[in-house]
Amino acid sequence: MSEEVREISEMKYTPKDVVDIISQFRNMYSKLDSKIKQFVRTQPTFLNEIRQKLKTDIGFLSPQKKDMALSIFGIIITEDILKSYEPHFFADDISSLLNATDKKMSCTDDEFVGLLASFINILKSIKKSTEIIIQNFIDLRKKGIHNDVIETLLIQRNFSPALSEANLHFEVGEFEVDMRFLTAIFAYFIELSLEQSEIIESAESAGKLYAKAISKYPISKGEDIFYDMINTILIEPYLSQLNQALSSAVEVSQVIQKEEIDRFEPEEEIATQPAFIQGRMEKVLRIFQDSLSKRLKVGKEIDESWKMQIESNIEMILDWKAVNEFGKKDLDEQHHYLRYLFDIWFEVFEEYPQMSLPIIEIEQFTKFIDNPEIFIEETKKAITHKLTSIVQEKTKDDGFTPRSLAVAFTSISFELLTNPEVLSITFGE
């Protein structure tokens, strides 16, 4: 490896100078009108095709603005600003752009050109900054810094300055924009990159992501919300997926290397679960440990964020286990998911046997006290049986999907954790 090692201080986003942003806007704005006219003149077939496709999606625009918007779509595609940009995505995005700038009800043609100029510049800018930030994330991970610190580093030194820069692209056109819209565009580019690494099936449009952001985050303005909003809209939903994408990138290269070696070496036993599943599992165990000790030592209650963390981690592990075994998500044979879930469950019981107490029969209690590990090993079947029926009850019509199982697991674990019997016993420490 002849990789250049960067200092941590370099792993931040340095925003463009405001003077450059102003000239970029002026430049785009002054050219856009003639570019649009030229496009209308030279590409009538393309425009007609797209107009047919998006007939209803951009029905809210006046005929004049429709032509302008469609030409902009053409320009984005032909000038390679975005390589693959679905027309429907574009329609969503333009509609959200008008909402986010409060221009849906009234917008002069001049303003519309200005908005489109800002929009094109923003796409370019956020695409670039997301690439830089993802690279910074990769490099930060290599430094072995604690996850919490990486998250904050990403927010404070990367996404926040990039978001300020993005906002400037609108400010120089004298538009006030909903910060959640800009953040949603970041989310879109993150999703694109996750789509490329096959972590998610397909990215959603920035417009759709904006709608999601609005439902998640209630405030739209002010620099003071940057940290909290980025955390809510970008870090919490995507960081573990990005981690996963990067881990699988590392793994692919390891697999290739292994294949090379395998040609000369006899086949080994099938490897145990990949590192990222293991890592996830460790996280789940850590959450249990934290909550157990917190409840024991300080009597703290478990809150909603605990549930969310457990749920999302379990769902992810179930998905990965499926990918690991069958090479795909969304298995038709759902009983595999249940099998995976029990793998997880017994890992938890192995670590914290007291959590199985409410499930076993009271007569067996002393046996359990003598040697919980052996006891669990012996009564695995009975525990599985009992848990299966509880899980079935909880999932009901949903069947065994990673989601439904994760929810069931969390709710059962919550009941186990809050059970006084569990709390009355501590092993070892």
Partner 1 sequence: MENENQLKDNTLSVFLISYPQKELDINTQIIEIIGGKKLITDDTIKAKREMDLEKLNINNLFSESNILFKASRYAFVNVDNIDEEINNKIYVLRNSTRDFTLLNIIIGPFVDLNLEGAIGEIQSLTQSLTGVFRRTEFQKESEIIADINQKIEIKRNLEKLSKFYNWQIFEEGSLREKSEDSEITPMITSAFLVRAQIIKDRMKCMGECQRIYSKDLTPEGVKCECGGDLVLIPPDLNLEEISFVYPEDLVEIVGENNVESPSRLFKYLQKSEIPKELLSPFSQFSVLKLTNLITVPSKVKFQVKATSDIIDLTFGYKKQESDEILIFGFITDTRYSDSRLISSESLNKIMNAIFANLTDQTAWEETIRKTDLEKWKVTPFVKIKYIEKYPSLLDTHAIEHRGAGNE
| Footprint on this chain of partner 1 (rule: CB under 8 A) | 8-9, 145-146, 148-149, 151-153, 156, 217-219, 222-229, 231, 297, 303-305
Amino acid at position 46, single letter: F
CB of 76 to partner 1, least distance (A): 33
Rounded Cα gap, residues 89 and 207, in angstroms: 7
Instruction: Give whichever of 146 and 396 is closer to partner 1, judged by the CB atom.
Output: 146
Amino acid at position 258, single letter: K
Instruction: Give whichever of 219 and 249 is closer to partner 1, judged by the CB atom.
Output: 219
Helices 109-142, 63-78: crossing angle, 10 deg rounding: 30
Answer yes or no: are the C-beta atoms of 235 and 151 closer than 8 Å: yes
Answer yes or no: are the C-beta atoms of 140 and 5 closer than 8 Å: no
Instruction: Give whichever of 122 and 225 is closer to partner 1, judged by the CB atom.
Output: 225
CB of 298 to partner 1, least distance (A): 8
Rounded Cα gap, residues 343 and 354, in angstroms: 17
Residue closest to 160 by CA, chosen among 228, 108, 99, 218: 228
Residues 6+ apart with CB under 8 A from 58: 66, 69, 70, 91, 94, 95
Instruction: Give whichever of 18 and 382 is closer to partner 1, judged by the CB atom.
Output: 18
CB of 149 to partner 1, least distance (A): 5
Local structure of 393: helix, strand or coil = helix
DSSP label at 267?
P
CB of 133 to partner 1, least distance (A): 17
CB of 225 to partner 1, least distance (A): 4
Local structure of 2: helix, strand or coil = coil
CB of 98 to partner 1, least distance (A): 24
Instruction: Give whichever of 304 and 363 is closer to partner 1, judged by the CB atom.
Output: 304
Instruction: Give whichever of 179 and 383 is closer to partner 1, judged by the CB atom.
Output: 179
Residue closest to 206 by CA, chosen among 300, 99, 279, 308: 99
CB of 148 to partner 1, least distance (A): 5
Instruction: Give whichever of 219 and 382 is closer to partner 1, judged by the CB atom.
Output: 219
